[in-house]
A and B are shown apart, each in its own frame.
Chain A
Amino acid sequence: MIYFDNSATTRPCDEVIKVLNEDLTGDRWGNPGSLHKLGITASGAYDKALGTCASVLSCDPGELILTSCGTESANTAISGFMHANPRAGKTIISTHTEHKCTLETLASLEKQGFTVKYVSVGKDGKPDLEMLKSMLDKDTGLLCFTHVNNETGAILPLDQIRELRKTLAPSAALYLDCVQSLGKLPIDLKKMGVDMASFSAHKIHGIKGVGLLYIRKGIRVSPLIIGGGQQNGMRSGTQSLPLADVMAASLTEASKHREDAYIEVSGINQYLKEELIKRGAVINSPDDALPFVLNVAFKNFQSETMLHCLEMYDIYISTVSACSSKSKKPSYVLESMGINRKVSSNSVRLSFSRYNTMDEAESFIKAIDEIYKFYEVNVR
């Protein structure tokens, strides 16, 4: 099997399975909120896991909230911030190429009376900074951006955006969706200067069901889930030690292998790009995109046909982001980047992880050649 769909999800790594197994079979199954010995054991382990996450991400453990997924993190951050800060500006600035979990939250806030302004993105997938400049003012309450786009790998010019905010809208908060950049780009929350950020474990060889939300000390956010007041009241519900450990283990591993993986994947990406261009493919990912994502349009193959052709070779890729691929419309991300419909309906996404190898990339190209030989159809 060749798995080139790592932006959709990844397979759990051995370290994650090991810690999960220990937590589920050992004596740490107590409720971290209990006052007895079992509870204290569990809560000690839980705090340790969260501490590990905090040290990998360079923040304070008190600034991290364990959630169920990236979507919950995004919802809590965006909605929670706007509702908790009635005196902040009422305008949110974002782009049309955000993940659906951001776009839908913004749409819902719009219905509630907030204003949302969308900065256009260019062919390089980056927001138009001049346009952003003209939009920033003292009514700007929140900026929502994605660190790395899930469909194209386009990287946000974070430093420039942070500078613009500093001069033009210093009171606006900055939320960053780091789901795709985690484990691939260096994440140092202190240096990055963001106020809120979201993460997910299953994109970095953890498991589904656990994400993180970073909220910088001093930023007020109202919780989405209320109840017993766990996690400082920011996310009620009994804390799960196994999930905390999964998050910690997958983060630790991702950070340990990050630099090597980047080099290996850059090689794979470069090789595939060159070989595919030779075969008439169009690369939709910007030149300076993160090498872990390669969005490419194959000549004479609709996205879904190519996906199924590769499936026959036990190779797995994605049409667009898996969350939205059941809707038949061409990718809204590519559309926003000004890529025409014909190209975008032939586009697929290859996405890599530290477990992919150059051998796999070579087999992939071999498969593509065979697919062209047997299945190319061009009906006029």
Chain B
Amino acid sequence: MATNVILARMGEVTLKGLNRGRFESQLMGNLRYRLRQFGKLNIFQSQSRIWIEAKEEGNPYFENDEAAKELMIAVTQVFGIVSVSLARKFEGDINDIDSNAKEYVASYLEQNPSFKTFKVECKRGNKSFPMNSPMICEEVGYFILENFKDLSVDVHNPDFVLNVEVRDYNYVYAGKMMAHRGLPVGTAGKGMLLLSGGIDSPVAGFMMASRGMPIDAVYFHSYPYTSDQAKQKVIDLAKIVSRFSGRMNLYIVDFTKIQLDMVKNSPHDMLTIVMRRVMLQIAQKLAQKTGSKCLITGESLGQVASQTLEAIAITNEVVDMPILRPLIGMDKEATVQISRDIGAFETSILPFEDCCTIFVAKHPKTHPKHTDIEAAEKNLDIEAMVKQGVEENLEVIEI
């Protein structure tokens, strides 16, 4: 009897030297966590690849190809995985290989009706199998050609490769679903993401997580200027990022009073810069308290007034931690593309008031100088504001 299994390939992890084991075990742990909702699974490594099988019979995700797709997508969201294939696993001789290959190809063509050419590749780990690899390729290729009259062989540039592997069991599979590559989350130190409701910050979080960084996030809520729907949108975005980055705490700072204080006591053309400086300090305090070693923002050079080099330099001054800005040199279109790929875009563009456009001056200073910021913060008790942000009404949501 044949069963479905899922085959996942590792990427950069396999290039690691002595610490490869640590990266691999982190990856296996992350996979188990990400796949926890798919029933009891056997997840193991063999031949530098990862195999995923149902532990018990009747697991719906292994019953048919459509349901398997959902599980495979979840696998592609685990950083460190390069690609995923759905394979058929069975016992038996060359006749069983033929019949399973035929069944697999029939189902595969149903999903890819335009495919017209193929080739067969074989690996034979089980050396006691009476045919060698070229013989198996020849036999299976012939059998497929006989049974699918529209298909022809093209060994140089086929539409698909039918893989046959003969080991303790036999496997056939074709095609790959590409994953997000990267390094397993947890192999780098933790970072604190400044998450707004826009397009950029979730992408920034995704990108840092792809380098192995676990993420916590902080959101500055200014009810009644920003609505509870805006807050819900940020929670939804955090959930989307956490599909890739794993467990996450979302810290929601009550920012209303702090912002009102700024509006009353500092010049309006400097408001955004002052606000960002305070936000970064609050984020740093939270990061220090909760074990994050850096801050992450979605800033992109020149995108808005507060993201000019001068403004970034001035906001940078107030924190000691590294501030990682993975989007700093990226074009907006490229960011939007990643946002779409990770499934965040539709949520990001929901029309709820984001970090309060109400508090943005018509002509904010784009090239602030030191003297400007000194004057702007002269009448503010920044330390008290930071303390208030970290301590008063702080909400923590486990994503």
Pair from one complex: yes
Q: Could you tell me if A308 and B351 are in contact, using CB atoms closer than 8 angstroms?
A: no
Give A13 Cβ to nearest chain B Cβ, in Å: 29
Give B360 Cβ to nearest chain A Cβ, in Å: 7
Pick from A305, A311, A328, A380: contact of B358, CB below 8 A: A305
Knowing A302-B358, A304-B353, say if A379 contacts B224 (CB, 8 Å): no
Pick from A308, A311, A326, A328: contact of B225, CB below 8 A: A308
Pick from B224, B271, B351: contact of A375, CB below 8 A: B224
Those of A315-367 within 8 Å (CB) of chain B: 326-328
- Chain B residues with CB under 8 A of A326: 351
Give A298 Cβ to nearest chain B Cβ, in Å: 13
Q: Could you tell me if B268 and A380 are in contact, using CB atoms closer than 8 angstroms?
A: yes
Q: Could you tell me if B268 and A305 are in contact, using CB atoms closer than 8 angstroms?
A: no
- The number of chain A residues with a CB under 8 A from chain B is 15
Give A242 Cβ to nearest chain B Cβ, in Å: 33
- The number of chain B residues with a CB under 8 A from chain A is 16
Write out, one digit per residue, whether chain B residues 352-365 have a CB within 8 A of any chain A CB (1) or not (0): 01000011111000
Knowing A304-B353, A305-B225, A327-B351, say if A377 contacts B359 (CB, 8 Å): yes
- Chain B residues with CB under 8 A of A309: 224
- Chain B residues with CB under 8 A of A107: none
Q: Could you tell me if B225 and A379 are in contact, using CB atoms closer than 8 angstroms?
A: no
In the complex, the number of residue pairs spanning A and B with C-beta atoms less than 8 Å apart equals 39
Q: Does A225 contact B (CB under 8 A)?
A: no
- Chain B residues with CB under 8 A of A304: 227, 353
Return the chain B residue nearest A378 by Cβ: B263
Q: Does B142 contact A (CB under 8 A)?
A: no
Q: Does B188 contact A (CB under 8 A)?
A: no
Q: Does A224 contact B (CB under 8 A)?
A: no
- Chain B residues with CB under 8 A of A311: 224
Q: Could you tell me if A377 and B224 are in contact, using CB atoms closer than 8 angstroms?
A: no
Give A302 Cβ to nearest chain B Cβ, in Å: 6
Give A301 Cβ to nearest chain B Cβ, in Å: 9
Q: Does B260 contact A (CB under 8 A)?
A: yes
Q: Does B129 contact A (CB under 8 A)?
A: no
Q: Does A277 contact B (CB under 8 A)?
A: no
Q: Does A312 contact B (CB under 8 A)?
A: yes
Find the residue from A305, A311, A328 having the highest chain B CB count within 10 A. A305
Return the chain B residue nearest A302 by Cβ: B358
Q: Does B223 contact A (CB under 8 A)?
A: yes
- Chain B residues with CB under 8 A of A327: 351
Q: List 6 A-B contacts (CB under 8 A).
A: A326-B351, A374-B260, A379-B263, A379-B358, A379-B359, A380-B361
